[in-house]
Amino acid sequence: MAANRQNPHNSTKGLVAVFTGNGKGKTTAALGLAFRALGHGHRVCVIQFLKGSWNYGELDAAARFKPLLEFHVMGRGFTWKSEDLEKDKESARNAWDFAVKTIKENRHELIILDELTYLCRYQIIEEEALLTVLKNKPATMHIAITGRHASEALMQQADLVTEMREIKHPFQLGIQAQKGMEF
C-alpha cells in the first residue's frame, strides 16, 4: 500500500543539465538524452552553435526522427580554425537569438544547446542573458547545455552538472577522428 501513496518530492520540473569538461562525450551525452526523450514521444530541438558543415552521423540519424526532432547546425565551424572570426561571432549570436525564440515558443520538451558555453567564455553573449533565459524558461522544459569551461554561475544554476575528464584519447596516439565515434 505504501507504493500507492504520492511522494511529495516527486514533482515534474524541467531540468537544466550541463555537460562540461575537457573530455570527449559532452555532445554524445546530450544526444543520449535526446534519444531517450524521443523514445517517450517528446519533441526535441538540437541547436549547435559552433559545428560547421562537416557531415556528422547525428545529422543523418536526426532526419529519421522528423517531425519529433529538429536539428539546427547554425555555426560556421570551429572558431580556433576560423578564417573570419567576426562572421563566426555573428553566426553564433544569430544562433543564440534563434535559441531564445525557440525556448520562448515552448514547443519542445527538451532543447539541447550544443557548445553554448563557448559563447559566454568568449563574450559573444553575456552570461547574465543566458542565466536569465534559463531562469525564465517554461517550467516543464528540459534544457541541456554542452561545452568546455562552463562557468561557476551556470553550474550553480543548473540542476545537473557532469564534468567529462579526459584521461586518454586516441588522437594522442595519432589516430584521427573516425565515423561513428567522433562524428
| pLDDT digit string, tens, across residues 17-33 | 999 999 999 999 999 99
Give yes or no: 27 in active site.
yes
Closest CA to 130 of 100, 161, 156: 100
Mean pLDDT of the chain: 88
95-119 per-position pLDDT tens digit: 999 999 999 999 999 999 999 999 9
**104 lies in some domain:** yes
32-57 per-position pLDDT tens digit: 999 999 999 999 999 999 876 556 77
CATH number of 84's domain: 3.40.50.300
Q: Please pick, among 5, 12, 80, 81, the residue that the annotation labels catalytic.
A: 80
Give yes or no: 78 in active site.
yes
Q: Which comes out higher in pLDDT, residue 52 or 60?
A: 60
Give yes or no: 26 in active site.
yes
Q: Please pick, among 27, 79, 117, 146, the residue that the annotation labels catalytic.
A: 27
Domain range for 97 is: 12-164
Give yes or no: 65 in active site.
no
CA distance 124 to 158: 21
| Whether the predicted pLDDT of 87 surpasses 80 | yes
Largest CA distance in the chain: 65
**65 lies in some domain:** yes
Give the strands of the sheet with 44-48, arranged side by side. 69-73, 44-48, 110-114, 142-146, 16-20, 160-163
**179 lies in some domain:** no
- The whole-angstrom distance between residue 65's C-alpha and the CA centroid of its chain comes to 18
Return the number of other C-beta atoms located less than 10 Å from residue 154's C-beta.
22
Give yes or no: 28 in active site.
yes
Give yes or no: 93 in active site.
no
**178 lies in some domain:** no
User: What's the total number of domains in the chain?
Assistant: 1
